[in-house]
Amino acid sequence: MTMRSEDLVSSTVPAPAGSGAFGNAGWTPRLVLSVISILCLVEAVAFAYVGTTTALPKIIEHFHTTQAGWLLTAYALVGAASAPLFGKLADLHGKRRMMLIAIGLAAAGDILAAVAPAFWMMVLGQVLHGCVSACLYLGYSLMRDTYPRRIVPFGASVSMTGAGILSVGAPFLIGVLIDNFGFRSVYVFDLAWLVVMAVIVMATTPETSLRRRARLDIAGSVLLAGGLTLVLLGISMGDEWGWSSAGVLGSLVGGLVVLAVYVVLALRIREPVLDLRVLVRRTILFGVLAGGVAYGLNPMNQTLLALLSMTPQQLGQTYGLGFSATKYALITGPMSLGSVLAGLAVGLLVRRTGARLMMYAGLLLFVAGALFLMTQHDTYGKVLTGAVILGVGTGFSLAAMPNLIIAGAPAEQQGSMSSAGELSAGLIGAITPIVAFAIMTPSAISPVPGVLIYSDSGITTSLLVSACIAAATLVAEVLFLRPRAETPLEAGELAPAPERATPA
């Protein structure tokens, strides 16, 4: 079988001058520490969100607020809306530099949350902390520029799923911190984690020498960030404000108009903050859309898993395990472990199988896991099985995404193209939980005031929709985003000669 050059990530990774810091000698103690520190920063992105979600009841009680949802909304909005700007600045001024700036802003957010005397300061802390999401895509983009060529696929793959240090144990750790030291301890721990990892990154990981000689598109940055913020705000607040309210309609329509203006501008200037002409290349678009769906389906699937696991069976009638929040970690822990192991598998196999095949496998597992849970969710073993299938699908999909983007994007636009994945994930992730609740709410019942129990049919229909989204993405990718035979490598002019295989 002829292997397409997009699948051989190593063959599309030119060795820039900055890679001399590691050379091509293979694994060294310094390189191992570099990989671990970047993986741990990826873990911190998930830890921050899970920690705030778990701490919400305590935060509500402490500040006597009904607006706690803004903590999650602010974090997600900033993470998605700032992605193109961080990506572009990384191409202009250096990926490690922008990673460290993002970490610094997130650390400032942790400090605010840890000492906040008022709720609005907690929200401001989350606004700053949302910048840590930049580590997701800048991490593997930095690896691409500085790591030995044959190690790039492995490093990029595991950088998206983490090492499991926090993702598997996070529910248990967060529970211990909150129960014994209060909700502020979550942010103190996160602050310490970020500082330690930032120091290790500075000590072990060189800055990329690649720079894009261009001016920052200020107008485009404002338009893109503003339009995305308005759209995401309207989607996030639809249930609370009402979908027909002036606030939601104004945000959605206003955001779409602003984004339309950005599209017109981006197609007319030479150096837009997010180059749409490069983004629509098939390999990049495939990775961005499929990876975004994988990210975006996670909130929906995890919401449904929580309902299946934590609803008492006497209330759910035909479903419900009655788990506590702590016991629920017996499902989320193995699910996260499955994702981590799948990411490792992709890193080890991608040079042989190709990233595209791994993405197909991930999407198929999303379909299989959701369909399994539709009919098999009345025991712990069944729910756990479905959760692990979804976790492995997540690992395959997310680990394949950076390899596809690395293969398709020009070297000097790796940062901005990588940020497109975060942008896609933010948009899809904001929509999918709303879709689930829109499906479930009409058939829900309220046995006592303040308690809403969703029907089995509502949950199973939502799982079917989740499966259909993954399946539709897979079909669309196969039919419309396969590489053209006449252009086997979309960034071919940037590819060096492939490395010679070492004789067995």
Residue pair 424/289 in contact (Cβ under 8 Å)? The answer is yes
Tokens, residue 284: 């990049």
3-state class (DSSP) for residue 451: coil
pLDDT of residue 164: 53
* Residue length of the chain: 504
Q: Encode burial over 234-245: b for 16+ CB neighbours within 10 A, e otherwise.
A: bbbbbeebeeee
Asked whether residue 208 is assigned to any structural domain, the reply reads yes
The arithmetic mean of pLDDT across residues 178-200, rounded, is 91
Same domain, 242 and 155: no
Average pLDDT of the chain to the nearest whole number: 81
Give the residue carrying structure tokens 């896609």. Answer: 424
pLDDT of residue 23: 61
Domain span holding position 85 = 25-217+269-485
Tally the domains of the chain. 2
Asked whether residue 13 is assigned to any structural domain, the reply reads no
Residue pair 147/10 in contact (Cβ under 8 Å)? The answer is no
Q: Which amino acid appears at position 186 of this protein?
A: V
Same domain, 447 and 313: yes
Same domain, 130 and 154: yes
Asked whether residue 42 is assigned to any structural domain, the reply reads yes
DSSP letter for each residue of 59-119: HHHHHT-S-THHHHHHHHHHHHHTHHHHHHHHHHH-HHHHHHHHHHHHHHHHHHHHH-SSH
Q: pLDDT tens digit string along 348-363?
A: 888 888 889 999 999 9
Q: Is the pLDDT of residue 9 over 60?
A: no
The residue with greater pLDDT, 130 or 364, is 364
CATH number at residue 419: 1.20.1250.20
Asked whether residue 20 is assigned to any structural domain, the reply reads no
Same domain, 180 and 65: yes
Asked whether residue 189 is assigned to any structural domain, the reply reads yes
Asked whether residue 322 is assigned to any structural domain, the reply reads yes
Same domain, 89 and 147: yes
pLDDT of residue 496: 34
Same domain, 38 and 62: yes
Same domain, 251 and 282: no
Q: Is the pLDDT of residue 316 over 80?
A: no
Q: pLDDT tens digit string along 112-139?
A: 999 999 988 998 998 999 898 888 888 8
| pLDDT interval class at 162 (50, 70, 90) | low
Same domain, 62 and 101: yes
The residue with greater pLDDT, 400 or 42, is 400
Same domain, 235 and 276: no
Q: pLDDT tens digit string along 426-459?
A: 788 778 887 888 888 888 887 766 567 888 899 9
Same domain, 201 and 79: yes
pLDDT of residue 255: 92
Asked whether residue 5 is assigned to any structural domain, the reply reads no
The arithmetic mean of pLDDT across residues 285-298, rounded, is 88
Same domain, 187 and 289: yes
Asked whether residue 133 is assigned to any structural domain, the reply reads yes
pLDDT of residue 11: 36
Q: pLDDT tens digit string along 50-92?
A: 788 777 768 877 888 767 767 877 887 788 888 888 888 888 8
Same domain, 274 and 368: yes
3-state class (DSSP) for residue 243: coil
Q: pLDDT tens digit string along 226-284?
A: 888 898 888 878 877 888 899 989 999 999 999 999 999 988 888 888 888 888 888 88
Task: Tell me how far apart the terminal alpha carbons of the chain are, to the nearest angstrom.
Answer: 20
- Please state, in angstroms and rounded to a whole number, the distance separating the CA atoms of residues 490 and 474: 21
DSSP letter for each residue of 289-309: HHHHHHHHHHHHHHHHHHHHH
The arithmetic mean of pLDDT across residues 399-427, rounded, is 81
